[in-house]
Structure 1
Amino acid sequence: MTADEKRRTMRALRQSLSPYEQQDAAQKAAQRLSKQSFFRRAKRVAFYMANDGEIDPQALLKVHGNYTKHWFLPRIQNARKTPMRFGHYTGQNALVANRYGILEPNGDTKDDQKAASMDVILLPLVAFDRQGNRLGMGGGYYDKTLHSVPKHASSGPLLIGLAHAIQELDSIYAQSWDMRLDMIITDRELICAKQK
Protein backbone atom coordinates (compact mmCIF):
# COMPACT_ATOMS: atom_id res chain seq x y z
CA MET A 1 0.00 0.00 0.00
CA THR A 2 1.39 3.44 -0.90
CA ALA A 3 1.66 6.28 1.62
CA ASP A 4 -1.32 8.03 0.00
CA GLU A 5 -3.41 4.86 0.17
CA LYS A 6 -2.48 4.46 3.85
CA ARG A 7 -3.48 8.07 4.46
CA ARG A 8 -6.90 7.57 2.86
CA THR A 9 -7.53 4.33 4.75
CA MET A 10 -6.41 5.63 8.14
CA ARG A 11 -8.21 8.97 7.77
CA ALA A 12 -11.44 7.13 6.95
CA LEU A 13 -10.92 4.92 10.00
CA ARG A 14 -10.53 7.82 12.44
CA GLN A 15 -13.38 9.76 10.80
CA SER A 16 -15.64 6.75 11.37
CA LEU A 17 -15.46 7.28 15.14
CA SER A 18 -18.58 8.83 16.65
CA PRO A 19 -18.39 12.24 18.35
CA TYR A 20 -18.66 10.44 21.71
CA GLU A 21 -15.77 8.11 20.82
CA GLN A 22 -13.70 11.11 19.67
CA GLN A 23 -14.31 13.01 22.91
CA ASP A 24 -13.74 9.96 25.10
CA ALA A 25 -10.44 9.17 23.34
CA ALA A 26 -9.25 12.78 23.69
CA GLN A 27 -10.02 12.82 27.42
CA LYS A 28 -8.28 9.49 28.01
CA ALA A 29 -5.19 10.64 26.10
CA ALA A 30 -5.18 13.94 28.03
CA GLN A 31 -5.43 12.14 31.38
CA ARG A 32 -2.60 9.79 30.43
CA LEU A 33 -0.33 12.65 29.33
CA SER A 34 -1.22 14.80 32.36
CA LYS A 35 0.08 12.11 34.72
CA GLN A 36 3.58 12.18 33.21
CA SER A 37 6.18 14.09 35.23
CA PHE A 38 7.88 15.47 32.10
CA PHE A 39 4.58 17.00 31.03
CA ARG A 40 3.81 18.44 34.45
CA ARG A 41 7.26 20.13 34.38
CA ALA A 42 6.85 21.47 30.82
CA LYS A 43 6.18 25.21 30.67
CA ARG A 44 5.95 25.81 26.90
CA VAL A 45 3.70 23.39 25.02
CA ALA A 46 2.87 23.54 21.31
CA PHE A 47 -0.36 21.84 20.33
CA TYR A 48 -2.71 21.91 17.33
CA MET A 49 -6.37 22.50 16.61
CA ALA A 50 -7.88 19.11 15.84
CA ASN A 51 -9.18 18.56 12.35
CA ASP A 52 -10.35 15.60 10.30
CA GLY A 53 -10.91 13.22 13.24
CA GLU A 54 -7.58 13.90 15.00
CA ILE A 55 -7.29 13.48 18.78
CA ASP A 56 -8.25 16.87 20.22
CA PRO A 57 -5.52 18.19 22.54
CA GLN A 58 -7.78 20.93 23.93
CA ALA A 59 -8.81 18.51 26.67
CA LEU A 60 -5.33 19.23 28.11
CA LEU A 61 -6.06 22.94 28.30
CA LYS A 62 -9.14 22.20 30.38
CA VAL A 63 -6.97 20.24 32.84
CA HIS A 64 -3.95 22.58 32.99
CA GLY A 65 -5.33 25.97 31.95
CA ASN A 66 -2.99 28.92 31.52
CA TYR A 67 -1.71 28.87 35.11
CA THR A 68 1.08 26.33 34.79
CA LYS A 69 1.78 26.36 31.04
CA HIS A 70 2.16 28.64 28.07
CA TRP A 71 0.33 27.18 25.09
CA PHE A 72 1.32 27.73 21.46
CA LEU A 73 -0.36 26.96 18.15
CA PRO A 74 1.48 26.44 14.86
CA ARG A 75 1.20 29.10 12.22
CA ILE A 76 1.95 28.20 8.61
CA GLN A 77 4.24 30.75 6.99
CA ASN A 78 3.59 32.12 3.51
CA ALA A 79 6.33 30.11 1.82
CA ARG A 80 5.71 26.35 1.85
CA LYS A 81 9.35 25.54 2.57
CA THR A 82 9.52 27.91 5.54
CA PRO A 83 9.35 26.30 9.00
CA MET A 84 6.19 26.92 10.97
CA ARG A 85 6.34 29.34 13.88
CA PHE A 86 4.25 29.06 17.04
CA GLY A 87 1.90 31.79 18.25
CA HIS A 88 1.01 32.14 21.94
CA TYR A 89 -2.52 30.93 22.70
CA THR A 90 -4.47 32.02 25.76
CA GLY A 91 -7.88 30.63 24.90
CA GLN A 92 -9.07 34.16 24.16
CA ASN A 93 -7.06 34.68 20.96
CA ALA A 94 -8.76 35.34 17.66
CA LEU A 95 -8.19 32.39 15.36
CA VAL A 96 -8.42 32.23 11.59
CA ALA A 97 -8.60 29.26 9.22
CA ASN A 98 -5.42 28.76 7.20
CA ARG A 99 -5.32 27.52 3.59
CA TYR A 100 -6.17 23.99 4.82
CA GLY A 101 -9.11 25.10 6.96
CA ILE A 102 -7.15 24.54 10.20
CA LEU A 103 -7.44 27.23 12.86
CA GLU A 104 -4.29 29.14 13.77
CA PRO A 105 -3.54 32.41 15.60
CA ASN A 106 -4.66 35.55 13.81
CA GLY A 107 -2.81 38.83 13.96
CA ASP A 108 0.70 39.97 14.77
CA THR A 109 3.46 37.43 14.22
CA LYS A 110 6.38 39.36 15.75
CA ASP A 111 6.23 37.38 19.01
CA ASP A 112 5.89 33.96 17.35
CA GLN A 113 8.33 31.37 18.66
CA LYS A 114 10.53 28.77 16.98
CA ALA A 115 10.09 25.04 17.59
CA ALA A 116 13.39 24.89 19.51
CA SER A 117 11.93 27.12 22.24
CA MET A 118 9.19 24.60 23.14
CA ASP A 119 9.46 22.02 25.92
CA VAL A 120 6.89 19.72 24.32
CA ILE A 121 5.39 19.65 20.84
CA LEU A 122 2.17 17.67 20.43
CA LEU A 123 1.81 16.50 16.84
CA PRO A 124 -1.24 15.36 14.92
CA LEU A 125 -0.89 12.26 12.79
CA VAL A 126 -2.72 10.00 10.40
CA ALA A 127 -0.87 6.84 11.45
CA PHE A 128 2.10 5.77 13.59
CA ASP A 129 4.27 2.78 14.39
CA ARG A 130 6.11 1.81 17.58
CA GLN A 131 9.44 3.01 16.21
CA GLY A 132 8.12 6.59 16.37
CA ASN A 133 7.49 6.94 12.66
CA ARG A 134 4.59 9.23 11.88
CA LEU A 135 2.48 9.44 8.77
CA GLY A 136 1.11 12.97 8.52
CA MET A 137 -1.21 14.59 6.01
CA GLY A 138 1.57 14.80 3.43
CA GLY A 139 2.50 18.49 3.51
CA GLY A 140 5.73 17.97 5.45
CA TYR A 141 5.19 21.07 7.60
CA TYR A 142 6.17 19.45 10.90
CA ASP A 143 9.18 17.67 9.37
CA LYS A 144 10.46 20.93 7.84
CA THR A 145 9.87 22.77 11.09
CA LEU A 146 11.55 20.18 13.29
CA HIS A 147 14.57 19.94 11.00
CA SER A 148 15.15 23.61 11.87
CA VAL A 149 15.83 22.61 15.50
CA PRO A 150 19.64 22.44 15.90
CA LYS A 151 20.85 18.84 16.05
CA HIS A 152 23.02 19.57 19.09
CA ALA A 153 19.99 20.71 21.06
CA SER A 154 19.85 17.78 23.47
CA SER A 155 17.39 19.80 25.49
CA GLY A 156 15.18 20.31 22.43
CA PRO A 157 11.45 19.74 22.53
CA LEU A 158 9.97 16.35 23.30
CA LEU A 159 7.98 15.24 20.24
CA ILE A 160 4.74 13.51 21.17
CA GLY A 161 2.19 12.20 18.70
CA LEU A 162 -1.44 12.10 19.81
CA ALA A 163 -3.48 9.34 18.23
CA HIS A 164 -6.39 6.99 18.48
CA ALA A 165 -5.11 3.48 19.17
CA ILE A 166 -6.74 2.37 15.89
CA GLN A 167 -4.22 4.53 13.99
CA GLU A 168 -1.31 2.17 14.74
CA LEU A 169 0.37 0.35 11.85
CA ASP A 170 2.98 -2.42 12.08
CA SER A 171 5.51 -0.27 10.28
CA ILE A 172 5.75 2.97 8.33
CA TYR A 173 8.48 3.48 5.78
CA ALA A 174 10.35 6.60 6.87
CA GLN A 175 12.00 8.93 4.40
CA SER A 176 15.33 10.56 5.29
CA TRP A 177 13.56 13.86 6.07
CA ASP A 178 10.90 12.32 8.34
CA MET A 179 11.28 13.26 12.00
CA ARG A 180 10.62 10.48 14.50
CA LEU A 181 8.44 10.93 17.54
CA ASP A 182 9.83 10.39 21.03
CA MET A 183 6.53 8.89 22.12
CA ILE A 184 2.92 8.40 21.16
CA ILE A 185 -0.02 8.89 23.52
CA THR A 186 -3.23 7.10 22.59
CA ASP A 187 -6.54 6.59 24.31
CA ARG A 188 -5.16 3.22 25.48
CA GLU A 189 -1.45 3.64 26.25
CA LEU A 190 1.76 5.64 26.28
CA ILE A 191 4.24 4.26 23.76
CA CYS A 192 7.93 5.14 24.11
CA ALA A 193 9.27 4.92 20.58
CA LYS A 194 11.80 2.19 19.89
CA GLN A 195 14.46 4.03 17.92
CA LYS A 196 16.30 1.81 15.43
Structure 2
Amino acid sequence: MLYDLNTLRKNLRKQRCAVNQFQQKQSEQAVLNQLIRIPEFQQAHKIGLYLHAFGEIHTHKITEYCFAHGKAVFLPMICNMNQRLAWVQISQHQYRNKRFSHHPLGMKEPMAARGLHVSKLDVLIMPLLACDDTGTRIGMGGGFYDKTLATAAKRPYRLGLAHDFQLLHCNIQREAWDQPLDGLLTPQHFLRFKR
Protein backbone atom coordinates (compact mmCIF):
# COMPACT_ATOMS: atom_id res chain seq x y z
CA MET A 1 0.00 0.00 0.00
CA LEU A 2 1.38 3.42 -0.97
CA TYR A 3 0.45 6.69 0.72
CA ASP A 4 -0.31 10.06 -0.85
CA LEU A 5 2.83 11.92 0.21
CA ASN A 6 1.27 15.36 0.71
CA THR A 7 -1.57 14.03 2.85
CA LEU A 8 0.85 11.85 4.82
CA ARG A 9 3.20 14.80 5.48
CA LYS A 10 0.32 17.02 6.61
CA ASN A 11 -1.14 14.40 8.97
CA LEU A 12 2.20 13.47 10.50
CA ARG A 13 3.20 17.10 11.04
CA LYS A 14 -0.07 17.66 12.88
CA GLN A 15 0.35 14.49 14.94
CA ARG A 16 3.96 15.33 15.79
CA CYS A 17 3.05 18.85 16.95
CA ALA A 18 0.34 17.38 19.20
CA VAL A 19 2.86 15.41 21.30
CA ASN A 20 2.80 17.01 24.76
CA GLN A 21 5.80 17.86 26.96
CA PHE A 22 5.29 14.87 29.27
CA GLN A 23 5.20 12.45 26.31
CA GLN A 24 8.26 14.17 24.83
CA LYS A 25 10.25 13.73 28.05
CA GLN A 26 9.30 10.05 28.26
CA SER A 27 10.14 9.44 24.59
CA GLU A 28 13.44 11.29 24.85
CA GLN A 29 14.55 9.17 27.83
CA ALA A 30 13.38 5.91 26.22
CA VAL A 31 15.30 6.70 23.04
CA LEU A 32 18.47 7.61 24.97
CA ASN A 33 18.26 4.37 26.99
CA GLN A 34 18.35 2.38 23.73
CA LEU A 35 20.81 4.60 21.90
CA ILE A 36 23.60 4.15 24.44
CA ARG A 37 23.48 0.38 23.81
CA ILE A 38 23.90 0.63 20.02
CA PRO A 39 27.51 -0.33 19.11
CA GLU A 40 27.79 2.25 16.31
CA PHE A 41 26.94 5.00 18.80
CA GLN A 42 29.11 3.58 21.58
CA GLN A 43 32.18 3.56 19.30
CA ALA A 44 31.46 6.91 17.64
CA HIS A 45 33.38 10.07 18.44
CA LYS A 46 31.80 12.59 16.02
CA ILE A 47 28.02 12.72 16.34
CA GLY A 48 25.76 14.71 14.02
CA LEU A 49 22.59 15.81 15.81
CA TYR A 50 19.70 18.22 15.30
CA LEU A 51 18.08 20.83 17.52
CA HIS A 52 14.42 19.86 17.84
CA ALA A 53 12.03 22.56 16.66
CA PHE A 54 8.92 21.01 15.11
CA GLY A 55 7.76 18.28 17.50
CA GLU A 56 10.54 15.82 16.66
CA ILE A 57 11.96 13.56 19.35
CA HIS A 58 13.84 15.93 21.64
CA THR A 59 17.63 15.69 21.56
CA HIS A 60 18.63 17.58 24.72
CA LYS A 61 19.47 14.46 26.76
CA ILE A 62 21.39 12.88 23.86
CA THR A 63 23.39 16.07 23.41
CA GLU A 64 24.25 16.30 27.10
CA TYR A 65 25.13 12.58 27.15
CA CYS A 66 27.56 13.15 24.26
CA PHE A 67 29.26 16.05 26.06
CA ALA A 68 29.49 14.03 29.30
CA HIS A 69 31.10 11.07 27.48
CA GLY A 70 33.65 12.97 25.39
CA LYS A 71 31.80 12.74 22.08
CA ALA A 72 32.04 15.71 19.72
CA VAL A 73 28.64 17.20 18.83
CA PHE A 74 27.99 18.61 15.35
CA LEU A 75 24.86 20.48 14.24
CA PRO A 76 23.65 21.08 10.68
CA MET A 77 23.97 24.42 8.94
CA ILE A 78 22.29 24.94 5.55
CA CYS A 79 24.69 26.09 2.83
CA ASN A 80 22.70 28.52 0.70
CA MET A 81 24.89 27.92 -2.37
CA ASN A 82 24.10 24.22 -2.83
CA GLN A 83 21.23 23.58 -0.35
CA ARG A 84 23.30 20.95 1.42
CA LEU A 85 24.10 20.67 5.11
CA ALA A 86 27.53 21.35 6.60
CA TRP A 87 28.23 20.06 10.09
CA VAL A 88 29.50 22.53 12.68
CA GLN A 89 31.02 21.41 15.97
CA ILE A 90 29.54 23.08 19.03
CA SER A 91 30.81 23.30 22.59
CA GLN A 92 28.83 22.53 25.72
CA HIS A 93 29.06 26.23 26.65
CA GLN A 94 27.67 27.28 23.27
CA TYR A 95 24.85 24.72 23.57
CA ARG A 96 23.84 25.61 27.12
CA ASN A 97 23.91 29.35 26.37
CA LYS A 98 21.84 28.79 23.21
CA ARG A 99 24.28 30.62 20.96
CA PHE A 100 22.51 29.91 17.68
CA SER A 101 21.14 31.91 14.79
CA HIS A 102 17.58 31.59 13.49
CA HIS A 103 17.18 30.19 9.99
CA PRO A 104 14.26 31.50 7.89
CA LEU A 105 12.82 27.96 7.77
CA GLY A 106 12.22 28.12 11.53
CA MET A 107 15.05 26.11 13.05
CA LYS A 108 18.13 27.25 14.93
CA GLU A 109 21.62 26.80 13.46
CA PRO A 110 25.15 27.11 14.79
CA MET A 111 26.88 30.37 13.95
CA ALA A 112 29.92 29.55 11.85
CA ALA A 113 31.50 30.31 8.51
CA ARG A 114 32.06 26.69 7.53
CA GLY A 115 31.55 23.15 8.72
CA LEU A 116 32.59 19.56 8.00
CA HIS A 117 31.36 17.36 5.18
CA VAL A 118 28.86 14.78 6.45
CA SER A 119 31.25 11.89 5.65
CA LYS A 120 33.54 13.08 8.49
CA LEU A 121 30.87 12.16 11.06
CA ASP A 122 30.73 8.69 12.63
CA VAL A 123 26.99 8.73 13.36
CA LEU A 124 24.31 11.04 12.00
CA ILE A 125 21.11 11.21 14.07
CA MET A 126 18.31 12.59 11.89
CA PRO A 127 14.77 13.84 12.36
CA LEU A 128 12.03 12.62 10.05
CA LEU A 129 8.32 12.67 9.39
CA ALA A 130 8.00 8.97 8.58
CA CYS A 131 10.00 5.82 7.94
CA ASP A 132 8.91 2.43 6.64
CA ASP A 133 10.11 -1.10 7.43
CA THR A 134 12.81 -0.90 4.73
CA GLY A 135 14.48 2.32 5.95
CA THR A 136 12.92 4.71 3.46
CA ARG A 137 12.70 8.07 5.20
CA ILE A 138 10.36 10.98 4.54
CA GLY A 139 11.74 14.30 5.73
CA MET A 140 10.16 17.73 5.93
CA GLY A 141 10.29 18.18 2.16
CA GLY A 142 13.34 20.39 1.66
CA GLY A 143 15.61 17.52 0.59
CA PHE A 144 18.55 18.85 2.64
CA TYR A 145 19.50 15.50 4.21
CA ASP A 146 19.02 13.59 0.93
CA LYS A 147 21.18 16.03 -1.06
CA THR A 148 23.84 15.98 1.64
CA LEU A 149 23.94 12.19 2.09
CA ALA A 150 24.02 11.59 -1.68
CA THR A 151 27.65 12.78 -1.50
CA ALA A 152 28.59 10.30 1.25
CA ALA A 153 28.17 6.69 0.17
CA LYS A 154 29.67 4.82 3.13
CA ARG A 155 29.81 7.07 6.20
CA PRO A 156 28.29 8.09 8.53
CA TYR A 157 25.97 5.56 10.15
CA ARG A 158 22.51 7.01 9.42
CA LEU A 159 20.11 6.77 12.34
CA GLY A 160 16.60 8.19 12.23
CA LEU A 161 14.82 9.26 15.43
CA ALA A 162 11.04 9.06 15.50
CA HIS A 163 7.96 8.76 17.64
CA ASP A 164 6.40 5.30 17.40
CA PHE A 165 3.53 6.57 15.23
CA GLN A 166 6.06 7.71 12.61
CA LEU A 167 7.10 4.10 11.86
CA LEU A 168 4.84 2.97 9.01
CA HIS A 169 4.30 -0.73 8.38
CA CYS A 170 3.88 -0.32 4.64
CA ASN A 171 6.16 0.63 1.77
CA ILE A 172 6.86 4.26 1.09
CA GLN A 173 7.77 4.70 -2.56
CA ARG A 174 11.52 5.30 -2.69
CA GLU A 175 12.60 7.85 -5.29
CA ALA A 176 16.01 7.77 -6.97
CA TRP A 177 17.26 10.67 -4.81
CA ASP A 178 16.00 9.27 -1.48
CA GLN A 179 18.77 8.31 0.92
CA PRO A 180 17.72 5.35 3.11
CA LEU A 181 18.56 4.93 6.79
CA ASP A 182 20.83 2.34 8.40
CA GLY A 183 18.67 2.28 11.51
CA LEU A 184 15.56 3.73 13.09
CA LEU A 185 15.15 4.39 16.78
CA THR A 186 11.76 5.02 18.40
CA PRO A 187 10.83 4.90 22.10
CA GLN A 188 9.78 1.25 21.68
CA HIS A 189 11.81 -0.04 18.71
CA PHE A 190 15.26 -0.19 17.21
CA LEU A 191 15.29 -1.39 13.60
CA ARG A 192 18.31 -2.08 11.40
CA PHE A 193 18.10 -1.84 7.64
CA LYS A 194 20.26 -3.00 4.73
CA ARG A 195 21.20 0.00 2.60
Give the TM-score normalised by the residue count of structure 1.
0.91
C-alpha contact 2:184 2:191 (8 A) present in aligned 1 = yes
1:194 is displaced (CA, Å) by: 5.0
% same residue: 28
3-state SS of paired residue (1:87)? strand
**Distance in 1 between residues matched to 2:171 and 2:20, nearest whole Å:** 27
Q: 2: CA distance between counterparts of 1:33 and 1:17? A: 21
Corresponding letter in the other structure for 1:86: W
CA distance, structure 2, for counterparts of residue 122 and residue 69 of structure 1: 13
Deviation of residue 2 (structure 1)?
Answer: 2.0
1:159 aligned residue: 158
3-state secondary structure, aligned to 1:145:
helix
Q: Deviations over 1:49-84 (max 9, x none)?
A: 1121101122112223254200000000113x3421
CA contact (8 A) 1:66 1:90 kept: no
Aligned residues: 188
| Partner Cα separation in structure 2 for residue 61 and residue 139 of structure 1 | 24
Give the structure 1 partner of residue 175 of structure 2.
175
Sort the Cα spacing of 1:67 and 1:109 in 2 relative to 1 into closer, same or farther, 3 A. farther
The runs of 5 or more residues in structure 2 that have no matched partner are none
Q: CA deviation at 1:91?
A: 2.8
Q: Output one character per residue of 1:118-164: Cα deviation in whole Å (capped at 9) or x when no partner.
A: 00001100011110011100000000000111x3x4xx100000000
Counterparts of 1:66 and 1:142 in 2: how far apart (Å)?
27
Determine which of 17, 21, 24 is the counterpart of 1:22.
24
Equivalent runs, 1:140-151 vs 2, <5 Å: 140-149=143-152, 151=153
Mapped to 2, the partners of 1:64 and 1:44 lie a distance apart of 9
The 4+ residue runs of structure 1 with deviation greater than 6 A are none
Q: Which residue of 1 aligns with 2:102?
A: 97
Taking structure 2 as the reference length, the TM-score comes to 0.91
Q: Structure 1 residue 26: deviation in Å? A: 1.1
Structure 1: runs of 5+ lacking an equivalent: none
- 1:6 alignment partner in structure 2: 8
- The answer to whether the 8 Å contact 1:45/1:121 transfers is yes
**Separation in 1 of the partners of 2:150 and 2:66?**
29
Asked whether the equivalents of residues 125 and 137 of structure 1 are also in contact (C-alpha less than 8 Å), the reply is yes
**What RMSD in Å do the two structures reach over aligned CA positions?**
1.4
- Pairwise CA distance, 1:166: 0.8
1:87 maps to 88
Contact 1:73/1:86, CA 8 A, preserved across alignment: yes
Question: Take 1:53 and 1:37, find their aligned partners in 2: how far apart are those partners?
Answer: 27
